[in-house]
Structures are given as structure tokens and as C-alpha cells.
Amino acid sequence: NQQTEEKVVTHVIRPTLGAQFQAADLSDITQTSKIFEGKEFCVINGPSSLSKAAIEKKVAEYGGSVVQNPGSTTFCVLADKVVMRVTNLMKRDLYDIVKVDWFKRCLDAQTFIPWAPADMIHTSAKLRLHINNLCGGEPAD
């Protein structure tokens, strides 16, 4: 007179991101430098010679942190190609979007190199205002 209970198992199939969009596993990274210390990066893509995951690992090795979506504490967005996501971030005008080449130059020089106009894919409204204030300001009498 024993009752049998049936367990109903449901499987939820979640969409997955392609490998090129996923965050790198940074758990085994050893920091070797502090040139990006205190700076948060959002990496969109990299050139064929340096994948998104490889860039994220380098950010961590050099003391920076990585986010998948930029926010108010993001230092800059790194991109090699202007894809739809980069275009959408440009429209929001909140983030400085910098070429991966700048990042590679910093690694090669082993030092933080200030951005030059040629390094920028997009300059945020905040940075444009800052530059305008530095360069423009009030005319002298």
C-alpha cells in the first residue's frame, strides 16, 4: 500500500553568450603592475591579435578592474571596431571610448599614457566640457 511520488523535473534553457562576448575568468590573474590601479574598464572588442578576454586579463594584471557594462565609475570603454554596441554607447554620450591601440601602447611602455585625440573613438560630453574649459575659458583682456 505504498504510494509512489513522481518528481517532475523541468529544465530551463537559458540563452548563452558567444565566447567573444563573455567575461574573462580573472580568478587566476596575478597583478604584475599598478598602471591601471583604481581604473574600471569596459572592453567591447579587440583586434584579431588580442581578444576581448585577453584584454580583460591584461587590465586585471595591470591593476585595473573590468565590467561588462559601463557605469558611473567606468574610466573608459575600450574598443577596436565600432560595432552596434559602441554606436549605442556613443549615442548615450556618457563614456569615453578609447581605441585598444592606446591600451597596447600603455602595456608596451609599462606606464599610463594620457589620451591623445587620435586615441579616441568617442569623447564624452563631460570630457569635451573639461577640454573646452582648459582650452577655451574666458578670453584675456
Q: Where are the alpha helices (DSSP H) in the chain?
A: 52-61, 84-92, 100-109, 125-135
> Of 31-35, 40-44, 98-102, 121-125, which range is least confident?
31-35
Q: Residue 10: inside a domain, yes or no?
A: no
3-state helix, strand, coil in the chain (%, to 5): 35, 15, 55
82 belongs to a structural domain: yes
**Is 30 inside a domain boundary?**
yes
Mapped onto helix, strand or coil, the DSSP state of residue 32 is coil
pTM: 0.79
Domain extent for 49: 24-135
Q: What is the pLDDT of residues 41-100, one digit of tens each?
A: 999 999 999 999 999 999 999 999 999 999 999 999 999 999 999 999 999 999 999 999
Q: Is residue 54 part of a domain?
A: yes
Which one, of 94, 117, 115, lies nearest residue 103 by Cα?
115
Q: Which three cell numbers stand for residue 94?
A: 556618457
Report the distance separating Cα 127 and Cα 61, nearest Å. Answer: 27
Here the CATH number for the domain that contains residue 60 is 3.40.50.10190
Q: Does any domain span residue 108?
A: yes
- Give mean pLDDT, residues 98-127: 96
Q: What is the pLDDT of residue 137?
A: 62
8: in domain: no
- Answer whether residue 90 is part of any domain: yes
**Number of domains present in the structure of the chain:** 1
Q: Is 15 domain-assigned?
A: no
